[in-house]
């Protein structure tokens, strides 16, 4: 897997999708214009006395062209409206489906299992810890990831998934969803929803016209409403055909992305029985992966499993997916494979605290997590967008080795605020191998805050940073990423940068990296570095890859990587929306 290559492939697929969609819009608009124009001409002739004359569609070509423009603009406006709303982030999609956010300070053992898995996968991959949601009233096994970029994504599972799946199986499902994030599928999925909504709007217009025509026909007891009824039928039927064609495109794209995500989940976890067991349970359960939420069909391709039994082929069949996961087994053998359901666990906070302390006191684990850097930066750069079993195990060990007193803090918003602020006032004395994990989990917890609370926290953090009238490189790096992750306004369109802007911004970053990361007295202009980072974050994937290569080269010049240099590279990647693995 190559993150930059896969993202480029996703972009090419998106461009092809745009071409296909525009072709569908033109074809639908032209067909509808012809049919409605023909109905209009027939209706006009039936109300004109005199001899019958052949219908001439070109006699009112200006009016027909106007209708064509109105139809196309209506579809495009509806599409843009939907994509704009979905582009607000994964929270919008989660709320659309009735999902509720999961508070990290939680005593439910099933939810704790879910939270721990998401945090482990995030730390292992370098992806910002996402907001976590649950569809509390859904007893089936399903999940989805949603968002426009990796820094505004959410992960959501059903209550049935966390109760009926073992830890390995739930990890396989979460790995599948993380794969969608890394492969650029989320943005593609959002555009698919928008395009289908635009085509579907014609059927809604047709329904309104039909209701109006029927009312006029009944009230006038004559032919006046008949023409309107036929126009309404034309909108309804042709709009439905356009939606059907769009669904075929969605089906083709969605199936391939699901196969890829399944394969990636096996690659990430090195355990086919994880995701395989989850799919097998869906196949055996009566409720399967069915979702009862009203809007499930609209976003069907986002889900791990087909949310509707009558859904229009948004997913490959379970048989085909399981055959790919277990290629050496026949379907009859796969169906007979035994599944086990986890026992309901009831665990109080004291028992959990004892378990965590037992893990923390394990000498072998202390040794395993003592290193500042688990592998070289250059090696990890080559594996951006990948999660391996080794990465996940290392992340799990790091998180488990954090003392309960600290872990308890970062799971509440008040405690997370204190932890984040300690990175600005020099009071954080965490073990080197804990620092990034603690910072990331605390930042993930702060995503639970309201917008106003986030603004107030950023204001407090800025005041603390400026308190001694000296901004150190460490304070700047952490403040910049906190502000970017919590408050960045993600526009629908980002202006591309020029080559000269990229070069000058890169020079500023190189100078800062070479002179400032290990020298608190280094003179630099925070506004200049922030501008350079903001500019490069809008660059193409090739620009980001070149910048990252250069920064790693600079960091490696003295053949020694400090903790701050390690953090800087990872946080720059977050600003670039590039997941840098552990």
Q: How large is the greatest C-alpha to C-alpha distance in the chain, in angstroms?
A: 101
The answer to whether residues 510 and 554 touch, using CB atoms and an 8 Å cutoff, is: yes
CA distance 72 to 69: 5
The yes-or-no verdict on residue 492 having pLDDT over 60 is no
Q: What is the pTM of this model?
A: 0.81
Question: What confidence score (pLDDT) does residue 54 get?
Answer: 53
Of the listed ranges 310-324, 335-349, 500-514, the least confidently predicted one is 335-349
Strand ranges of the sheet holding 154-158, from the earlier edge strand across to the other edge: 100-101, 131-135, 154-158, 143-146
Other CB atoms within 10 Å distance of the CB of residue 556: 14
Q: What is the average pLDDT across 522-530? A: 81
Percent of the chain having pLDDT more than 70?
A: 82
Structure tokens at 297: 């069909």
Torsions phi, psi for 154 (to 5 deg): -130, 155
Ranges for all domains in the chain classified under CATH 3.30.2010.10: 92-183+257-335
DSSP three-state, residue 495:
coil
Of the candidates 51, 36, 62, the residue with the CA atom closest to the CA atom of residue 205: 36
Please give the pLDDT value at position 24.
Answer: 82
Residue, of 293 and 213, whose pLDDT is higher: 293
Separation between Cα atoms, residue 149 and residue 3, nearest integer Å? 14
Q: How far is the C-alpha of 498 from the C-alpha of 540, rounded, in Å? A: 10
Q: Which helix (H) or strand (E) holds 181?
A: helix 167-182
Highest mean pLDDT among 95-104, 218-227, 233-242, 507-516: 95-104
> Mean pLDDT throughout 551-564?
79
Task: Judge whether residue 118 has pLDDT over 90.
Answer: yes
Mean pLDDT (whole number) for 553-571:
79
The confidence score (pLDDT) of residue 488 equals: 66
d(CA 397, CA 391): 10
The answer to whether the CB of 391 falls within 8 A of the CB of 363 is no
Which tens digit of pLDDT belongs to each residue from 300-336?
Answer: 888 999 888 655 567 888 899 999 999 888 888 888 8
Q: Which long-range contacts (CB under 8 A, 24 or more apart) does 198-201 make?
A: 198/21, 198/25, 198/75, 198/76, 198/77, 198/78, 198/79, 198/82, 199/24, 199/25, 199/28, 199/75, 199/239, 199/242, 199/243, 199/245, 199/246, 200/239, 200/243, 201/74, 201/75, 201/78, 201/239
Residue-wise pLDDT tens digits, 267-312 = 888 888 899 999 999 999 988 899 998 888 888 888 999 888 655 5
Distance between CA atoms of 27 and 22, rounded to whole angstroms? 9
* Residue 34: pLDDT over 60: yes
Question: Per-residue confidence at 352, pLDDT binned at 50, 70, 90?
Answer: very low
* DSSP state letter for 60: G
Do 440 and 121 form a contact (C-beta atoms < 8 A)? no
Q: How many CB atoms lie within 10 A of CB 177?
A: 27
> What CATH number has the domain spanning 92-183+257-335?
3.30.2010.10
Q: Considering only residues 227 and 113, tell me which one the structure prediction assigns the higher pLDDT.
A: 113
Residue closest to 441 by CA, chosen among 120, 199, 181, 186: 120
Q: How confident is the model at residue 159 (pLDDT cuts 50, 70, 90)?
A: very high
Residue 546 has pLDDT above 90, yes or no: no
pLDDT at 518: 65
Active site residues: 177
Closest CA to 514 of 556, 572, 571, 472: 556
Buried b (16+ CB within 10 A) or exposed e, 27-50: ebbebbbbbbbebbbebeeeeeee
CA gap 550, 546 in Å, rounded: 6
């Amino acid at each position: 897997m190559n993150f930059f290559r896969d993202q480029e492939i996703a972009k090419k697929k998106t461009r092809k999708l745009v071409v296909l969609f525009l072709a569908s819009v033109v074809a639908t608009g032209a067909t509808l214009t012809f049919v409605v124009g023909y109905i209009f001409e027939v209706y006009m002739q039936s109300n004109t006395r005199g001899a019958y004359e052949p219908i001439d569609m070109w006699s009112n070509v200006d009016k027909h062209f106007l209708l064509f423009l109105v139809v196309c603009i209506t579809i495009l406006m509806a599409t843009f409206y939907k994509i704009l709303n979905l582009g607000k982030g994964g929270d919008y999609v989660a709320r659309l489906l009735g999902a509720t956010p999961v508070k990290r300070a939680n005593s439910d053992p099933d939810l704790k299992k879910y939270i721990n898995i998401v945090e482990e996968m995030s730390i292992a991959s370098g992806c910002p810890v996402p907001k976590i949601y649950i569809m509390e009233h859904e007893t089936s096994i399903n999940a989805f990831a949603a968002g426009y970029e990796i820094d505004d994504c959410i992960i959501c599972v059903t209550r049935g998934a966390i109760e009926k799946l073992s830890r390995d199986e739930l990890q396989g499902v979460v790995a599948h969803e993380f794969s969608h994030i890394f492969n650029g599928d989320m943005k593609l999925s959002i555009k698919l929803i928008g395009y289908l909504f635009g085509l579907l709007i014609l059927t809604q217009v047709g329904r309104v016209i039909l209701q109006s025509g029927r009312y006029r026909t009944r009230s006038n007891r004559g032919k006046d409403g008949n023409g309107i009824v036929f126009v309404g039928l034309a909108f309804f039927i042709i709009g439905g055909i356009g939606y059907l064609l769009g669904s075929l495109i969605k089906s083709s794209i969605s199936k391939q992305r699901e196969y890829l995500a399944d394969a990636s989940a096996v690659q990430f976890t090195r355990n086919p029985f994880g995701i395989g067991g989850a799919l097998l349970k869906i196949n055996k359960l009566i409720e399967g992966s069915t979702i009862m939420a009203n809007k499930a069909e609209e976003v069907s391709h986002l889900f791990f499993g087909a949310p509707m039994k009558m859904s229009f082929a948004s997913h490959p069949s379970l048989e085909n997916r399981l055959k790919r996961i277990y290629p050496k087994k026949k379907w009859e053998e796969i169906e007979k494979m035994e599944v086990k359901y986890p026992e309901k666990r009831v665990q109080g906070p004291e028992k959990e605290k004892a378990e965590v302390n037992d893990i923390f006191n394990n000498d072998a684990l202390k040794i395993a997590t003592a290193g500042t850097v688990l592998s070289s930066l250059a090696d990890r750069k080559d594996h951006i967008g990948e999660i391996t079993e080794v990465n996940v195990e290392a992340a799990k060990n790091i998180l488990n080795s954090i003392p309960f007193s600290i872990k308890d803090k970062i799971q509440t918003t008040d405690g997370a605020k204190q932890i984040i602020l300690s990175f600005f006032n020099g009071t954080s004395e965490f073990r080197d191998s804990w620092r990034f994990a603690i910072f990331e989990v605390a930042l993930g917890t702060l995503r639970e805050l309201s917008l106003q609370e986030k603004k107030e926290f950023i204001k407090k953090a800025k005041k603390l940073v400026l308190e001694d009238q000296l901004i150190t490189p460490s304070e700047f790096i952490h403040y910049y990423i906190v502000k970017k992750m919590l408050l960045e306004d993600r526009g629908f369109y980002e202006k591309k940068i020029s080559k000269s802007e990229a070069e000058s911004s890169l020079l500023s970053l190189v100078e800062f990296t070479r002179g400032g990361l290990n020298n608190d007295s280094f003179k630099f202009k925070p506004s200049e570095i922030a501008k350079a980072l903001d500019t490069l974050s809008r660059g193409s994937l090739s620009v980001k890859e070149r910048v990252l290569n250069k920064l790693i080269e600079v960091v490696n010049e003295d053949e020694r990587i400090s903790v701050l240099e390690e953090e800087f590279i990872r946080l720059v990647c977050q600003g670039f929306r590039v997941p840098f693995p552990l």
